[in-house]
Amino acid sequence: MAKVVVGHHPELTGESAMKIFKRQFGSKYQVYKTELPTRDFFVKKSAWVGVAVSVRQKPNQTVFNFTAISPSLKARILSVAFLGIAVLVLQRRFWKIENEIRSFIENAEEFK
């Protein structure tokens, strides 16, 4: 799990952050609300590759937590069943999209 702390934005919610992500990534990735209990939304590249993101408020700071994960439940089950292959095939793709999300959070004017 990756974490980026930004300036304090108490008005920022998972839903409002998702809208900002949609403006940035909507033409490239699918951005949508997730049912995962600890995440607010997904940035989905494919059924196999995506990032689950949450926004949490702490005293004097706003924290983004995000994890590269397969958005599809079937893909997650298959990844567990064939863990070695999944790690070899997907690891670079996960790193790439995770780094892209990190860079966006760190540099977006809305989060400074």
Alpha-carbon distances, residue 71 vs 18, 106, 109 (angstroms): 16, 23, 27
Distance CA 111, CA 61 (A): 11
Dump pLDDT digits (tens) for 4-34: 999 899 999 999 999 999 999 999 999 999 9
Provide the residue ranges of all domains of the chain, joining segments of one domain with +: 2-111
* CATH class of this structure's domain 2-111: alpha beta
pLDDT: which is higher, 42 or 76: 42
Per-residue confidence (pLDDT) for residue 3, from 0 to 100? 96
Per the model's pLDDT, the better-predicted residue between 93 and 63 turns out to be 63
pLDDT of amino acid 12: 97
In terms of pTM, does the model score above 0.85?
yes
